[in-house]
Amino acid sequence: MNKIKDFKENGFYVEKSVIPISLQEELFLTFYDLALSSLNRNKIKLDFEIKNINEVSFPNDILILDKILSALLEHSNDHIAEIYDTVAYSSTFLKFISLPKIEGTVRELLSLEKHTPLYSATHRIRMDFPKDVKRKAGWHQEIFYTLPEARFLQTWAPVLRDSTVDNGTLGVCKKSHLNGIAEQTWEEERKDYATRITIDEKVIEQYEQIDVSMELGDVIYFDPHLIHRSGYNSSQQVRYSQVGMWNDCSYKDFRAPKPDFISRTISLRENYEKYKNSIK
């Protein structure tokens, strides 16, 4: 079977035409609607014309979405961070990551029975803005960015538009998963980058590096030890990409993390105090 052979030999497998266009359309509307709400909530006025939600269509209006998100980013990264966190738990995105075809392939590649529960870890849609280097991930292995002692595989997929060398698609070091944990260094967060654990350059030179250009609908599945990175988005457009891990819950060392949902505004107690006087 090609799937398993590719995955085992190269450390990754690209499956074509997995995600239906109707879900991309739904996600586009999710992003657009959240972007409009963010403009309103934060009282941001734009210096260009925008369409309301009933006037936009996918894929014709992705450039308008890019423009609104870029304007929000210019005001504050917090606005983008909140949209990112909202999309991650939106019903449309949950449908997107749970497509039966993705689940089936994950089970096949992890050799799991139909009944073994799969645990989703931090599935998200990244937004990589033109020319951004702060959030660009250098060469790394996912094992140090996710749950410790986990048995999982990672999925990644272009969203809303194809991922290309120009817009900074995912880069991988072919077969690098075969050599276990590579030499790497932990660096604490700084002004120009988030905390990162980067693989030494001399390790990278040993491998064939591939920029994995993908068409909308395709999904790449890859091994936790596969060395990978973000490309540089030299285009004028935002790169939207789905990232996330599927964990094998039957693995002996699997321990579910405690979800830590933190209010962006007031605490539970403060909310209670606010309404206390009106409690009869």
**Which chain residues interact with ligand AKG by CB under 6 A?**
126, 128, 137, 142, 156, 170, 228, 230, 241, 243
Instruction: Report what 170 binds from ligand AKG, Fe ion, none; CB cut-off 5-8 Å by kind.
Output: ligand AKG
Nearer to ligand AKG, 86 or 198 (CB): 198
Question: Count of CB atoms within 10 A of residue 223's CB?
Answer: 25
Nearer to ligand AKG, 177 or 228 (CB): 228
Map the footprint of Fe ion across residues 141-160, applying CB under 5 A: 142
Please tell me the distance from the alpha carbon of residue 256 to that of residue 121, in angstroms, as a whole number. 9
Nearer to Fe ion, 161 or 228 (CB): 228
Which of the ranges 12-20, 48-56, 138-146, 161-169 carries the binding residues for Fe ion, by CB under 5 A? Answer: 138-146
What ranges in the chain are assigned the alpha helix state H?
2-10, 21-41, 62-75, 77-88, 91-97, 100-109, 201-204, 268-276
Minimum CB separation of residue 126 from ligand AKG in Å reads 5
Nearer to Fe ion, 48 or 186 (CB): 186
Buried b (16+ CB within 10 A) or exposed e, 252-267: eebeeeeeeeeeeeee
Which of the ranges 29-37, 61-69, 104-112, 139-147 carries the binding residues for Fe ion, by CB under 5 A? Answer: 139-147
Number of residues located near Fe ion, criterion CB under 5 A = 1
Which of the ranges 101-109, 140-148, 180-188, 208-216 carries the binding residues for Fe ion, by CB under 5 A? Answer: 140-148
The pairs formed by 1-9 with CB atoms below 8 angstroms and a separation of 24 or more are 1/108, 3/105, 3/108, 3/109, 4/108, 4/109, 7/109, 7/221, 7/222, 7/223, 9/175
Which residues form the interface with Fe ion (CB under 5 A)? 142
